[in-house]
Amino acid sequence: MVLTVSEVSKSYPSAEGRVAVLSGVSLALGPGESLALTGESGSGKSTLLHLVAGLDLVDAGEIVVGGTRLAGLEDAARAALRRDRIGLVFQQFNLIPSLTAGANLAFQARLAGRHDPAWCAHLAGAMGLSGLMHRYPDQLSVRPPLILADEPTGNLDEAAGEAVMGLMLDLVAETGAALLMVTHSDRLAQRLDRRLHLQGGRVA
């Protein structure tokens, strides 16, 4: 299996005590398989994606990516896992092809009026990209065995969204990667092999 999620639970503190976001969620993905993760806002979809990516840690249960248990890894090892085995795709790309990855990050931060070189370096390290900041966007292509996509077509019109979805599915077919995609679109979910619907942090 490329990905195994076993009885994963996650909660966060609040003023009223801890709030459960995920409760006993399990799934498995093999090479070349695609799975749509659906559910209402707040159902735990993005939280699950972040846990699989090693951006956060589970409270209970286990996540295994390519035979490696995430729970036993330090921050640096999880960052290396993201760099080497996981492709992350989000709603907004907005990369300028003539700028390096580091310059793109700094440019976006300056536009937002909060450029902080130390914080940019910290973010790059957390994402496992420290050694890639000198590369240009078209030099960052890799062939990870696992692709995690969080609403990758959310900011696109229907035609563009269909085109991006087609490219992602072609990539899965050509490389044998596994795809786990969060989506609110029933139409796009139907194009994937399987669907897992979350409701209140549980598999519905």
pLDDT in tens, 76-135: 899 889 888 988 876 555 567 788 888 877 886 777 677 788 877 876 776 567 888 888
Q: How far is CA 99 from each of CA 30, 93, 96, 121, rounded to the nearest angstrom?
A: 36, 13, 6, 16
pTM of the predicted structure, to 2 decimals: 0.77
Q: Where are the domains of the chain?
A: 3-98+136-203
SS3 of residue 98 by DSSP: coil
| Res. 12: pLDDT tops 60 | yes
pLDDT tier for residue 20 given thresholds of 50, 70 and 90? very high
Residue 196 CA to chain centroid, in angstroms?
16
pLDDT of residue 94: 57
**pLDDT digits 0-9 by tens, 56-87:** 999 999 999 999 999 989 998 998 898 889 88
The answer to whether the beta carbons of residues 48 and 29 sit under 8 Å apart is no
pLDDT of residue 14: 87
CA triplet 23, 190, 94: central angle to 5 degrees?
80
What tokens appear for 108 in the block?
Answer: 């976006």
What fold characterizes domain 3-98+136-203?
Rossmann fold (3.40.50)
What tokens appear for 184 in the block?
Answer: 């609110």
* Burial status of residue 48 (CB atoms within 10 A of its CB: 0-12, 13-18, 19 or more): buried
- The alpha-helical segments, DSSP class H, found in 67-128 are 75-85, 101-111, 117-126
As a whole number of angstroms, the distance between CA 60 and CA 77 comes to 20
Residues 6+ apart with CB under 8 A from 204: 39, 197, 198
Helix (H) or strand (E) run with residue 190 in it: none
